[in-house]
Amino acid sequence: MSNSRIERIKDLEEKKKQLEARIQKLKAQESAKKRKEDTRRKILLGALVQHLTKTGYWSSSEIIKQLDKFLDKPIDRKLFDLPERPKKPEKVEEKRLSTDSVRGDSAAKD
């Protein structure tokens, strides 16, 4: 290949890297925007729930009952003065025995 073609390839590869970096930056900005919007929705929803409980439209005790069912993390439960949930026992898998091991080696040889 001639030097001009090699240089052209290098230039295009550099432009490709720059475009990929710009694409990545735009994707990151869009992702950050979506997270901020989601956080704002949650804050506004929480404000609505607080308003509805203050005005008596919703019962505070019912909201607490629902939170008690919904929240799992100790740090989240502490925010609402809910007791920690007892830890769930770990499931123990039973080891299944094969029929050969139950019968013994002599039965398997017959």
User: 50 in a domain, yes or no?
Assistant: yes
Confidence of residue 3 (pLDDT cuts 50, 70, 90): confident
Tokens of 17: 């890297």
The pLDDT assigned to 56 comes to 94
User: 43 in a domain, yes or no?
Assistant: yes
User: 56 in a domain, yes or no?
Assistant: yes
**Number of domains the chain is built from:** 1
Please give the residue that has the higher pLDDT: either 8 or 88. Answer: 8
User: 92 in a domain, yes or no?
Assistant: no
C-alpha distances out from residue 105 to 50, 72, 97, 102, Å: 70, 50, 14, 9
Mean pLDDT within 31-48: 98
- 48: Cα within 13 Å, side-chain hemisphere: 6
Domain range for 74? 3-84
Q: What are the pLDDT digits (tens) for 15-39? A: 999 999 999 999 999 999 999 999 9
Q: What are the pLDDT digits (tens) for 53-108? A: 999 999 999 999 999 999 999 999 999 999 998 877 777 665 555 555 555 555 44
User: 101 in a domain, yes or no?
Assistant: no
Q: Is the predicted pLDDT of residue 110 greater than 50, yes or no? A: no
Phi, psi of 47 (to 5 degrees): -65, -40
